[in-house]
Amino acid sequence: MDVGVRSRGARIRSAAFGYANVIPFICFALFPFYYMVITSLKNDAELYDLKAVPFLIQTGVITDHYRYLLAKTEFLAGYSLARLRFRGVNAFGTAVFITYLVPPTLLFLPLSQVVVWLGISDTIWALIVTYPTFLVPFSTWLLMGYFRTIPKEVEECALVDGASRMQTLIRVVLPMAVPGVVCAALFGFTLTWNEFTYALTFISQSANKTAVVGVTADLIRGDIYYWGSLMAGAILASLPIVVIYVFFLDYYVSGLTAGAVKG
């Protein structure tokens, strides 16, 4: 918010002020991670850290299913709600928004019985089936906002030229929507990977746990905390997210903004 022409001294003072104020925030944000790394390097780390690896694979499988099954659902619904006009479209858009706001902690008790009835409790299918409760509304909402930013004329041209609606959707809309789809996929992956409540509730067998729950629940044995190995496990389980995050930072920023503000 620098307004007008200012002297060199004032500019330097302003920059110094900015850095002096932003540095405490950065320290606050990063210190826990710094401390994690330091702790994991100190002691008793070598004993446990490899135990987190099976959990990682487990989480990978779940996110993979997400990619194939759900991405399509959200893409189609998002397009329909943003673009097409039919009776009930607004009501359904509102319904998606409300389910987006429903916290998982409101539904985890009945869902724990649903997975028992379906005979899938304690398997990763319990998570594959229940994660859509938060993934579908979130991504649909995100993509709806994105579709609204794509000019409608291109689609109309394709339709006039004789393409069917489905062809238009796949050949014309999809290529233009790639950034939005990437964004939804990134958030889907992140939310799935980081999910804790359902994963803790529905899975008790160590072999089927996700990375986050595996490290949090399984590496703690009794009252003795092996902090070195715990922190090593935590770093290992966060690593995939961090790597993706570093490469796609701008998508995260835009998705975060679109998901919340486009309401």
CB atoms within 10 A of CB 193: 21
**Residue 234, SS3?**
helix
105 binds another protein (CB under 8 A): yes
Residues 204-223 that bind another protein (CB under 8 A): 211-213, 215-216
3 binds another protein (CB under 8 A): yes
Nearest to another protein of 101, 207 (CB atom): 101
107 binds another protein (CB under 8 A): yes
Q: How far apart are CA 35 and CA 231, in angstroms?
A: 9
Nearest to another protein of 178, 261 (CB atom): 261
Token pair listed for 83: 């673009």
Closest Cα to residue 97, out of 112, 116, 78? Answer: 78
Residue of the chain from 196, 206, 207, 243 that contacts another protein (CB under 8 A): 196
Using CA atoms of 137, 138, 141, 145 in order, give the dihedral in degrees to the nearest 10: -170
Residue 125 exposure: Cα atoms within 13 Å on the Cβ side: 9
By CB atoms closer than 10 A (0-12, 13-18, 19+), residue 86 is exposed
Q: What are φ and ψ of residue 164, in 5° steps?
A: -75, 165
5 binds another protein (CB under 8 A): no
Minimum Å gap between C-beta 12 and another protein is: 13
246 binds another protein (CB under 8 A): yes
Nearest to another protein of 94, 149 (CB atom): 94
Minimum Å gap between C-beta 147 and another protein is: 12
Q: Which window, 42-50, 119-127, 170-178, 194-202, contacts another protein (CB under 8 A)?
A: 194-202
**Is residue 240 within 8 Å of residue 190, measured between CB atoms?**
no
Residues 122-181 that bind another protein (CB under 8 A): 129-130, 132-133, 136-137, 140, 159-160, 162, 164-166
Residue of the chain from 8, 25, 151, 175 that contacts another protein (CB under 8 A): 25
Containing 160, the helix (H) or strand (E) segment is helix 153-160
Residues 34-93 that bind another protein (CB under 8 A): 35-36, 39, 72-74, 76-77, 79-81, 84-87, 89, 92
